[in-house]
Structure 1
């Protein structure tokens, strides 16, 4: 039987001079599918160690990723980090599951939030 809670997309984002671990937690079982994304501030040393261990770098794009026949794209929320604002997408296909960040302005963020898009929780103090 599969574990009901797993880690989905996970990557290291460098936003300005700060590093963040972007993580999707997936909870799935009969009748339940919960998959929030969180940001966790890390130190430069933690980020470097995680990258060396195989954690991928977060992708930054200029425009929203597009779904294809083999790729699922889901808007997960709005991220406020280090004075910048991003739309966060989960982009998943048969071989990868990664977060993609698209920079937006405050007006765009407010519009998304008013229309029901979640704010991504960020743990701002490194562990």
Structure 2
């Protein structure tokens, strides 16, 4: 039987002069599917070590990713990080699961949040 809790999309984002680990936690079992995304501030040294260990860099895009017959796209929330605001998407197909960040302005963020989009929790103090 598969483990009910796994790490999904995970990557290192450099936003301005700061680094963040963007990670999706997937809890899936019969009747339950919980898959939030979190941001965790890291130091430059931690980010470099994670990148060397194989963690990928976060994908930044100018437009929202589009689903295809083989790719699922899900808006996970709004991320406020280092004075910038992004929509965070989970983009998944048979071979990859990545986070895609699309920069937005405050008015767009407020509209999304009013319509029920979650705010991505960011742990702002590096561990």
Taking the aligned partners of 1:48 and 1:91, their CA distance within structure 2 comes to 24
Deviation at 1:81, TM superposition (A): 0.1
| SS of residue paired to 2:66 | coil
Quote how far apart the aligned CAs of 1:7 are.
0.2
4+ residue stretches of structure 1 with deviation over 2 A?
none
SS in 1 for 2:102: strand
2:26 aligned residue: 26
Number of residue equivalences: 127
For residues 6-38 of structure 1, give each alpha carbon's deviation from its aligned partner in whole angstroms, at most 9, with x where no partner exists: 000000000000000000000000000000000
What is aligned with 2:92?
92
Gaps of 5+ in 1: none
Partner of residue 63, structure 1: 63
Q: Residue 49 of structure 1: CA displacement?
A: 0.3
